[in-house]
Chain A
Amino acid sequence: MLEIQNVTKSFGALEVLRGVDLTVEKGDVAAIIGPSGSGKTTLLRCMNFLERAGSGTMIFDGERVDLARVSGKEAARLRRKTAFVFQSYNLFRNKTALQNVTEGLTVARKIPREQAAETARRALRKVGMLDRADHYPHQLSGGQQQRVAIARAIAPDPEIIYFDEPTSALDPELTGEVLAVMRQLAEEGMTMLVVTHEMGFARNVSSKVVFMEDGRIVESGTARELFEHPRQQRTRAFLQTVPGVAE
């Protein structure tokens, strides 16, 4: 359903992505893991046009897109088929939880207000935030904000949701509630591409794990293959350094 080919990206002289290929099938929950600075987040941002790739092609939903040349209008149209969950939530600070969810429906997708509100309430109920629908972001905890952000992501029924380290900004006791929501989405068959440091999630929830280092994909496979029988020395070395992997 989604394929990227030979994606590169540099910030000045720094090469962040050195030719990345990746395929995500419908219903996949793909986790991208790897050390800090390996280019995971940049890859995700290039895929949703938040960064302009130096080169690379994306085939998404049957359409071929040149990641280096996509226009603003084209990007906006393609983004309406996707959703993005940020590390720092990025809820609209001037909107309530409910309005955060309806905004993308009424403004970007021209869905009638009533219908959008109904959809938004369903999404908020799913993430357990319906009782906070009228709260502003600053009145919510980090975990609650991230759950609203997930409601905002699922409400338009996207083809795929990108998650950029969704629990990294949260206190340990709050990550559980966000991971539980993500696990639930995965079980419902939502296609997800998740950059994460949560090895538990990568291992137990994802259908596919991708290990990135130095702007390249070193190894990918099922969670079992990658965690239990890593083929590459560098993957083994990485897995030994992160907590929550060794049994």
Chain B
Amino acid sequence: MNTRLLEILADSFPKILIPGLTVTIPLTAISFSLAMVIAVAMALVQFARVPVLTQLCRFYIWVFRGTPLLVQLFTVFFGMPKMGIRIDPFPAAVIVFSLNEGAYCAETVRAALESVPAGQLEAGYCAGMTWMQTMRRIILPQAMRTAFPPLSNSLIAMVKDTSLAANITVVEMFRAAEQINARVYEPLALYIEVGLIYLMFSTVLTWLQRAGERKLGAYENQEV
């Protein structure tokens, strides 16, 4: 390997990593948190079979799971201004990522809620608790434990999907790498480099997932 290439890699590393820390991670963290709020709310609505709202949830999930993320990003960022709604790149990305991820995670959480035996809800009722109290104290904690591995999966996928935000001018890691590449033209080295940084992020999340699962494993799912 020649020294020029090494220099480019060493020089670009912080220039890619910093947008990773200041844009990719906040974008992921904010979007995923919002997605979780959406997912739990949508899952509860469906679990409780609230009329009308359940149909609205199904419609929302149908649309956001059935269309490409990139198309959604473009629609909000490039399309909405046609209707006079102009949103900055970062908030536009947050909106799209949280709505998109919320649709997928709603299904994960709903499935997890339905996997909790009906007897748990009945036991809550018989202890004198209301539906809300039982959901919050008994059913949701059990469901979230079941949902934790697939949700971690979604989170890891999302870290990488945020690279799509480069297309709507958000200067996150991938766009930062592209900008450097435009100057020095070392696509192979730079794309591998940015790929490795994504890998680094994912690795950390995988560790966190494992630690989280250990912590949640204080009680185990029991066959009844």
Interface residues of A (CB under 8 A from B): 48-50, 72-73, 75-76, 79-80, 82-84, 86, 88-95, 103-104, 107-109, 136-138, 152, 156
Q: Which residues of B contact A93 (CB under 8 A)?
A: 120, 142, 219, 221-222
Q: Which DSSP category, helix, strand, loop or mixed, fits chain B's interface?
A: helix
Q: Which residues of B contact A79 (CB under 8 A)?
A: 125-128
Which residues in chain B, 178-224, are within 8 Å of chain A measured between CB atoms? 218-222, 224
Q: Which residues of A contact B125 (CB under 8 A)?
A: 48-50, 75-76, 79
B residues contacting the other copy or chain, number (CB 8 A): 25
**A95 CA to B120 CA, complexed, in Å:** 11
Q: Which of B16-24, B101-109, B130-138, B151-159 contacts A (4 or more CB under 8 A)?
A: B130-138
Closest B residue to A152 using CB positions: B127
Closest A residue to B221 using CB positions: A93
Q: How far is the CB of B117 from chain A (nearest CB, A)?
A: 8
Q: Please, could you name 21 A-B residue pairs with CB atoms under 8 Å apart, sorted by A?
A: A50-B126, A76-B125, A76-B129, A83-B127, A84-B126, A86-B122, A88-B224, A89-B224, A90-B119, A92-B120, A93-B120, A93-B142, A95-B219, A103-B129, A104-B129, A107-B127, A107-B129, A108-B127, A108-B129, A138-B222, A156-B128
Given the known A-B contacts A76-B130, A79-B128, A103-B137, are A90 and B122 also in contact in the complex, defined by CB atoms under 8 Å? yes
**A70 CA to B38 CA, complexed, in Å:** 32
Are B123 and A94 neighbours in the complex by a CB distance under 8 Å? no
Q: How far is the CB of B128 from chain A (nearest CB, A)?
A: 3
Q: How far is the CB of A233 from chain B (nearest CB, A)?
A: 36
Closest A residue to B119 using CB positions: A90
**A88 CA to B222 CA, complexed, in Å:** 12
Are A94 and B129 neighbours in the complex by a CB distance under 8 Å? no
Given the known A-B contacts A108-B133, A136-B219, A138-B219, are A92 and B126 also in contact in the complex, defined by CB atoms under 8 Å? no
Given the known A-B contacts A94-B138, A156-B128, are A107 and B219 also in contact in the complex, defined by CB atoms under 8 Å? no
Are A92 and B123 neighbours in the complex by a CB distance under 8 Å? yes
Q: Say if the beta carbon of B141 comes within 8 Å of chain A.
A: yes
Closest A residue to B140 using CB positions: A94
Q: Say if the beta carbon of B145 comes within 8 Å of chain A.
A: yes
Closest A residue to B223 using CB positions: A138
